[in-house]
Amino acid sequence: MELKRYYTQIKPLLVIFMLLCLIVAAQQLTQNKTIDTRGVKASWVLHDPGIKAPDDAPLWQPGHRVAAGSIRQSVTFKLSFKSSIDVQHISVSPVYLERVAVEFFDQNGQLINQQIKGGGVAAKTLDHHYDIDRLIFDVPNAAATAQLNAKAIQNLNVRLSYPSTEQVASQHTWGLALKGAVLTIILLAAGLALVAGMWLKQVLFLAFAVHQLVWFLLLLSVSHFIPSIWPHLNPLNGRLLGAVVIIVVITGAGFHWVLLRNMKTIPWLSGFCLAVVLLSFINLIFYFFGDQRLSLIIAAGLTVICGVILIVLVPWYRPKDHLQGLIFEKIKNPYMFFMSLVVLAGVSRLGFGPGLQTNGIYFYSLVTIIMMGQVLWMRTLILQRRQQNMAKKAALIHLTNEKLARDLVEQSAFLSMLSHEIKTPLTTLRFTVGGSDLRNKMDAQLTHIQHVVDKVELMGRVGTDFVSSEEVFFTELIQDQWHASALLHNDERLLDLTSNGCIDFVGNKLALEVIVHDLLTNARKYANDASIKVKLVGSDKTNGLCVIIENETDDLLQSNIDELTDKYFRGPNSKGIRGTGLGLWIVKNLCEANKYALSLAWNEGVFSAIVRLK
């Protein structure tokens, strides 16, 4: 069971590792496929730029390809043609080499001509119509030998082949169609993401659009696409290529920051991405005014570091919420595979493993567009469903609130009518017994009925009439309401009133009169002792006031405390005591309407009602 649990956790990593192995193997197989040499003998040697290697140096090695990695040296090839008629062209890849110079010699060693191409070379008399993903050099008919020198700012990975004129034309046609389609797809993806970002007002789509636009510029530079159509724009993939590579790191860091900040609670994410962006900006300046090769190595190193950190650490952090966790679980595997491709690209640019050729870059671009499109689509789909559910709930709540409002209006009208119908016979009854011997006996009963009628009428007004703001003198208010409650309860209880701090208050006086009156009446009805304690505690810092009313009582259960504010509920200590069960319910509603806080407590036989006013 323990092994199964760990296998489930690392299964996505194993799948990603296997896919990367397949990609590396496929790329290695493509690079190492047999070259049709057409009888050309080739040998090469590495040397410092500007220094010509002697022909008899022992460092010459046979071969038509060199994978030297990120070094500060150039490579020189010596080529010998068995028959110049069979060898029509020399193809040199990748196309983004800084400078490739080829000199052709006849059988006597006399120089026939020299052809120079590359990203750092301005266009001269040579055209570049066939230079998509490679540099094509025409072999003169009288050529017997040739010497080729290649220099690269990035990885020194040079591969020679010898296609015929028909192959050059065919490969150019297919390459033009394929690369044109890929560039069109990337440009459409960027445009759609830009429109979606502005339409849906989501920064993530805008970040993706900017990142894909930079990728579009990168592929234009790395494929020599534009110079192959307009040869006078040959320097397009010179210094611009390195600058775009560094800018890709900046836009990539920004995109992943926007993507992950809404999904995971990663405290270091913002600082980390900001540091990557700042370092990349400094590196971009250093690229233009300093060492270009070192700047590109730094950019590749930052790419590898970012990819490894995001792969290893991000999946284990807690999601922002349940929905964001669900989104990340849906996109976790493609996201980790995508970042693994980023690491692979960065490692290959550092000179480890096979060099990332142009076809690999196109493959990487298509894979990342598909994966990140899936990520954005799934995230948007889930968020839209959430918004639809919230809209449905909001509509349902709105309908419920409308029905509740109508019910409250009807209840208020009914209670007002009921109060009026009761008050009329009650007044007649008071007048009838006014001069009889039953007056003293009936007076208490009629007063209680009047109190119940007032409560019923108050229920209809509790949400509408109690809106005001004026200065309240709490000491006078409590004493007045104490005397008012004494008319309902003819007892000998005493009021124990104390105050502390500033008790000046501006608030809803009418609501406070009802709140205090009901709390004092409640305390008098259910108190066991002879006094009711009232404490006024003012606070200078919060400009608030706390009203505490305490009385001793028995037979009250702790589980009933929260139910005391329910309509018509009466506690177990109310046996034999007449009441309506409306007092604390009205107090609670008035407190909520005026943003006052009501809390009830019962501890060691003492019942406390606390009202916090602000």
Closest C-alpha among 241, 225, 265 to residue 98: 241
* pLDDT level of residue 1 (50, 70, 90 thresholds): very low
Distant-in-sequence contacts of 142-145, Cβ < 8 A, 24+ apart: 142/84, 142/106, 142/107, 142/112, 143/81, 143/84, 143/87, 143/104, 143/105, 143/106, 143/112, 144/80, 144/81, 144/84, 144/105, 144/106, 144/107, 145/78, 145/79, 145/80, 145/81, 145/104, 145/105, 145/109
Please tell me the class of the 439-613 domain: alpha beta
- C-alpha atoms less than 13 angstroms from C-alpha of 48 in its C-beta half-sphere: 1
Tokens at 493, concatenated: 């209880």
344, amino acid identity: L
In DSSP terms, 596 is beta-bridged to none
Find the range with the poorest average confidence among 239-243, 299-303, 332-336, 356-360. 356-360
Does 516 have pLDDT greater than 80?
Answer: yes
pLDDT of residue 24: 52
Which DSSP category does 613 fall into?
A: E
C-alpha to C-alpha distance for 370 and 363, rounded to whole angstroms: 11
pLDDT tens for 174-184 read 888 888 888 88
pLDDT of residue 454: 62
**What global pTM score does this model have?**
0.57
In DSSP terms, 534 is beta-bridged to 497, 549
C-alpha to C-alpha distance for 36 and 197, rounded to whole angstroms: 50
Under CATH, what is the fold of the domain 37-167? Immunoglobulin-like (2.60.40)
The span from the first CA to the last CA of the chain, in angstroms, equals 58
**Are residues 550 and 533 in contact, defined by beta-carbon separation less than 8 angstroms?**
yes
Does 278 have pLDDT greater than 90?
Answer: yes
C-alpha to C-alpha distance for 299 and 350, rounded to whole angstroms: 9
Which comes out higher in pLDDT, residue 38 or 149?
149
* pLDDT level of residue 282 (50, 70, 90 thresholds): very high
Which comes out higher in pLDDT, residue 577 or 404?
577
Beta pairing class for 504-507 and 470-473: antiparallel
Does 515 have pLDDT greater than 50?
Answer: yes
Does 23 have pLDDT greater than 70?
Answer: no
C-alpha to C-alpha distance for 298 and 309, rounded to whole angstroms: 16
Q: Would you give the distance in Å from CA 485 to the centre of its chain?
A: 59
Q: Is the previous residue joined to 94 through a cis bond, with omega within 30 degrees of 0? A: yes
3-state helix, strand, coil split of the chain in percent (to 5) is 55, 15, 25
* 435 phi and psi angles, rounded to 5 deg: -105, 10
Which comes out higher in pLDDT, residue 211 or 333?
211
Sign of CA dihedral 561, 567, 572, 573: positive
Find the mean pLDDT for residues 545-562.
83
C-alpha to C-alpha distance for 375 and 214, rounded to whole angstroms: 19
Please provide the DSSP assignment of 123-149 as one string.
--S---TT-SSSEEEEPPTT--EEEEE
Find the mean pLDDT for residues 406-426.
61
pLDDT of residue 405: 65
Which comes out higher in pLDDT, residue 91 or 67?
91
Tokens at 131, concatenated: 């230079």
Find the mean pLDDT for residues 98-113.
90
pLDDT tens for 24-75 read 555 554 445 556 778 889 999 998 887 887 877 788 999 888 888 778 889 9
Does 567 have pLDDT greater than 70?
Answer: yes
Which comes out higher in pLDDT, residue 388 or 81?
81
In DSSP terms, 78 is beta-bridged to 43, 147
* pLDDT level of residue 408 (50, 70, 90 thresholds): low
pLDDT of residue 604: 80
Find the mean pLDDT for residues 306-318.
83
pLDDT of residue 436: 62
Buried b (16+ CB within 10 A) or exposed e, 517-538: bbbbbbbbbbbeeeebbbbbbb
Does 125 have pLDDT greater than 80?
Answer: no
**Residue-range domain boundaries for the chain:** 37-167, 172-378, 439-613
Which DSSP category does 108 fall into?
A: T
Please provide the DSSP assignment of 501-543 as one string.
S--EEEE-HHHHHHHHHHHHHHHHHH--SSEEEEEEEEETTTT
Length, in residues, of the chain: 614
CA distances from 538 to 423, 515, 522, 533 (A): 41, 18, 24, 16
Does 237 have pLDDT greater than 80?
Answer: no
pLDDT of residue 111: 92
Find the range with the poorest average confidence among 94-108, 214-228, 244-258. 214-228
* 569 phi and psi angles, rounded to 5 deg: -85, 135
Beta pairing class for 504-507 and 544-552: unpaired
**Percentage of the residues of the chain whose pLDDT score is greater than 90:** 10
pLDDT tens for 177-209 read 888 888 888 888 888 888 888 887 888 888 888
Closest C-alpha among 130, 117, 142 to residue 167: 130
